[in-house]
Amino acid sequence: MSDYSITILNFIAIQAIVACGLNVIVGYAGQISLGHAAFFGIGAYSSALLTTKAGLTFWAALPLVILITAAIGLVLGMPSLRLREDFLAVTTIGINFIVESVFLYVPFFGGALGLGGIPSIVFFGARLRGVNFLYLCLFFLALVLLISRRFTKSWAGLACFALREEETAASSMGVSPVRFKLMAFVIGTAMAGLGGALYAHQMRFISATDFGFPLSVMMMSMVVLGGIGTLWGPVLGALILGMLPEIFRPLVDYRMLLNAAILLLMIRFQPGGLLGEGSFLRRVFPKRRGTTHG
């Protein structure tokens, strides 16, 4: 494979990790979030700052990065306790715009110039580039999928499904909306933080506009396209939306239009996603017993 296609695959793997995080929030807990790119950005910026300004290695910084992102996710997840659906959707859009402008206008975060000079990841003395970086991304993606799967099988996952389906009924049965919604936000944003850290060290240069609202829409589209609340849906969505621009590259000027048109057609005719209930893939390949979602 050429370096170029490996780079594309790296991005797809990273976006799949972040989309899996969004899936925990939106798919499992049913809390709409259109500001997920903000947490991706928070992960990328904290990893970049910890490795350049504090001089930590990627591995020493990673736990801190995940902790920081999850902590901010906990705080910014609070609106979900007070607001429902459309109010929450617009609030999360707002969070994304505000976080982006903080990165853009506060000199500590590099301002409009962004942050550069982010070191490559070193693994047992060797710098991870190309295919090796892809293996690292795939390892973390597998880890994220494993955690997602464990989550759906756990009592906490069950509680989230109950809240998603009928919050009033679930809370009257003793399922705490506060605890489990915030838990979903923490897990989901932690995964976004991990993806952000990988992104920062892959690009080695980041700027605020990388984490704007269009990326949040992209993430949400991946989850919806693949199948919201399914285990593999976000990965499939990331793969399709990551490949589309490459497939349409020869069309130059009409590329973005086709992208938007495909997204529109998908949401119009397969609103449950490719792997969701009632999709054409599910009809062709009926699901075996033992579902991964509620």
Partner 1 sequence: MQLFIEQLLNGAAMGAIYALITLGLALVYGVLRILHVAHAGVYTAGAYVGLYIHSLTGSLLLAVFGAMAFCGVLGVVIERLVYTPLLKFPPFVPLIGSIAVFLALEEIFRLVGGPYILSFPAELPFPGITVRGVVISPAIISIYAVSASVLLILWFIVTKTEFGLAMRATSQDRDIAGAMGIDSAFTISMTFVLGSAVAAIAGILVGIYFNQVYPTMGAVPAYKCLALIVVGGLGSLPGAVLASLLLGIGETLLIGYANIPLPRDSLAFIAMIAVLLWRPGGLMGNR
| Site of interaction with partner 1 (CB under 8 A) | 26, 32, 34, 79, 82-83, 85-87, 89-91, 93-95, 97-98, 100-101, 104-106, 213, 217, 220-221, 224, 253-254, 256-257, 259-261, 263-264, 267-268, 271-272
Nearer to partner 1, 187 or 224 (CB): 224
Give strand pairing partners of 206: 115
Residue 91 or 189 having the CB closest to partner 1 = 91
Q: Which segments of the chain does DSSP mark as H helices, in order?
A: 3-23, 36-52, 58-76, 79-82, 85-105, 130-153, 155-165, 167-172, 177-203, 213-226, 233-247, 255-269, 280-284
Both tokens of 190, joined, read 């932690």
122: DSSP letter:
E
Q: Compute the distance between CA of residue 262 and CA of residue 63 in angstroms, rounded to an integer.
A: 38
Output the smallest distance, CB 105 to partner 1, in A.
Answer: 5
Cα–Cα distance for residue pair 294/283, rounded to 1 Å? 18
For partner 1, give the closer residue by CB, 58 or 103: 103
Residues in the chain, total: 294
Are residues 216 and 37 in contact, defined by beta-carbon separation less than 8 angstroms?
Answer: yes
Taking CA atoms, 224 is separated from 72, 100, 151, 159, in Å, by: 25, 24, 20, 22
Identify the sign of the CA torsion 51, 55, 57, 63. negative
State which residue, 16 or 95, has the beta carbon closest to partner 1.
95
Enter the tokens of residue 73: 């996710």
Cβ closest to partner 1, residue 94 vs residue 294: 94
Tell me whether residue 91 or residue 148 sits nearer to partner 1 (CB atom). 91
Cβ 241 to partner 1 shortest distance, Å: 12
The three-point CA angle 254-259-243 to 5° equals: 110
Nearer to partner 1, 51 or 80 (CB): 80
Nearest-approach distance from CB 92 to partner 1, in angstroms: 10
Instruction: Report which of 238, 212, 169 is spatially closest to residue 17, judged by C-alpha positions.
Output: 238
